[in-house]
A and B are shown apart, each in its own frame.
Chain A
């Protein structure tokens, strides 16, 4: 059967996140971007909504089962509030979800319970590398077995909360595969650089990290000594990015609607001009189209359908174009005001440009 109706539980979760986004995230968004920081209380409040905790089974300290669909609904609603805030709140998932998806039993028991505690903690992951042709399936960071250990070497960039990380998964090339390695705090050879300055998501602390002959026990390989399949992790990242794009675009559309119904020109509201109204119709249509594509991809992943990876890839491809189109138009609809930082649309446009690049900064 087809159904486009989320479950009652999902609706309740979305509603509670929406309230948080409306009352907490969005009002702080502007200052957080200007001051390059998010209030820790805010992150904790978002964490307490319990999305990640609800996707970890009871035996590992959580209270539910992972569902990609629930994940994308939650991420969309957070990004509707603020992208940097959403990514910060979701950051522990960069560690927890790969362990849940690909970790060995021992790893799940060891790492999941301390993450899904009451307080948000900076568990994180390092995937992106500082080269123009960065490709998650073709990494330059390497892992080589050396006796009873793996040696990690390479450079990473955009690692959230790296300077204060409670734990980090580092992705590296092992043979011709991408594999995750669990790097605990305080290991020799890990060097975290100066906080990075980006085009958007200013409020999210991101760092470069260098790994020089970092020695890790064999059991620190994600999945244990036999390793893991990287595809489900990458799929989960694509779903997350696409849903963040949808949430962000929705915010921009709604702002454009409100503004254009308020602003007058030539004796009418500008929304009454077809030039503006048609832009808005196209924005709404593109958002809905990409949203459904991402829903289908998440459903395929939840139901282990063949081609699920491809669908998630298509969804992110669509989302990347859609979010730029929508946020660009939002700035355009506000005209000169759109370019001024008092309105949020220029921030949203800068954030939107990141969707194509930031694959690996969110996982659901």
Chain B
């Protein structure tokens, strides 16, 4: 039966997060935007404590293990749905700060998606410790963005020491600095074990903080989400133990695209979540816009035929329809993920629509407020800058269009390049 009732646990969770957003994020939002590379430790420490108190090491809700003798109730899985709501709310507070929430981030997501049970236990338990710990994913290189198969970072097995030796340079590593320099975290590095094999040579490696030969070379200065660090990382003969390659031993020598597919599977899970964060930013902008309009005495009348609306009414109502429908695309794709239904098409739809819509909404909000919108006195201009990244990271709008088009047309990557 088609239903749109938000589950109670999600509502309660979100009420709590709204308080966090209002009290711990919004008041310092402007400060961390204007002091790039300073770290919002108050928020980080608070979130770490709050998450520890609930037994979770990250924002991702953990499934409770039944006690002995306890009857296992068949409950609907709502993990991704919960996460989408949480991230939307935190990004509504401040998207840059949300990105520095401790707990593993994309690094942990990669371990979850591709690691063996032993690897998951070994690498993920650090996020449940006393201190906040970060994780990151290192995929992009200066010559390899959307075309991830073009990466040049190499991993060579040193049979004498049974270690992988990594060499290369990664860029655009979100939270890379916090993972390696500010906590005992790790980054998941994508590298090739056979440069001639293309995608079949790709593997992922956990590189922990303190590994010799790993250096954060640079922190980027960005258009928005400035509270989040974006690092360049140089790997120079960085050695990691053999079992730091994610996945089972058998895939080491096989010419398989499993590694590449693992990365893509991670994206199916994370794309709707990234869309959710963009939607949080756009909701913030739309709410403030409506509030400012109301203060100016501009009423938005719902229910009029189009030819009777004012230009502002039409803009605002269009934005609301676009934002809500984008959110529903997110909800459907995470609902599919929770129910183990393949959602690659829907995840990409959610991501590309959100990328477009949140960019448009925040841009129009700035425009409609005229000189007030362009001023740094209000957060509208910041949200415009923050929102744009939604259309870029975790697969650009264009990459997601390719993915959706292949699904709709029944084409492979070879048919439609």
Contact = CB atoms under 8 A, between A and B. Distances in A.
Interface stretch (B119-127, B196-204, B313-321, B382-390): B313-321
B416 A277 contact: yes
Contacts of B417: 272
A299 B3 contact: yes
B349 A315 contact: no
Contacts of B318: 317, 321
Given A272-B416, A281-B401, A3 B329 contact: no
Given A281-B401, A284-B408, A3 B305 contact: no
Contacts of B346: 288
Contacts of A135: 304-305, 308
A341 interface: no
B404 interface: yes
Contact of B306 (A3, A260, A320): A320
B402 A134 contact: no
Contacts of A6: 1-2
Contact of A134 (B305, B326, B400): B305
B401 A277 contact: yes
Q: Which of B4, B329, B398 counts the most chain A CB atoms within 10 A?
A: B4
- Give the one of B303, B335, B402 with max A CB within 10 A: B303
Contacts of B336: 4
Contacts of A285: 329, 349, 352-353, 404
A257 B321 contact: no
B324 interface: yes
Contacts of A7: 1
A248 B410 CA distance: 21
B353 A3 contact: no
Contact of B303 (A133, A271, A313, A318): A313
Interface in B356-386: none
Interface string B72-92: 000010100100000000000
Nearest to B404: A281
B305 A278 contact: no
A274 B4 CA distance: 35
Interface string A275-304: 001101110111011101101101110010
A-B residue pairs, 3 tightest by C-beta:
A292-B328, A277-B405, A289-B325
Interface of A: 1-7, 10, 69, 132-137, 234, 253, 257, 260-261, 271-272, 274, 277-278, 280-282, 284-286, 288-290, 292-293, 295-296, 298-300, 303, 309-311, 313-315, 317-318, 320-321, 356, 359
Given A257-B409, A296-B328, 18 more contacts: A2-B5, A2-B81, A2-B331, A3-B2, A135-B308, A137-B303, A274-B416, A281-B400, A285-B329, A285-B352, A288-B349, A292-B329, A295-B4, A298-B2, A299-B2, A314-B321, A315-B321, A317-B321
9 contacts: A2-B5, A2-B78, A4-B2, A10-B2, A271-B416, A274-B405, A289-B329, A314-B320, A317-B318
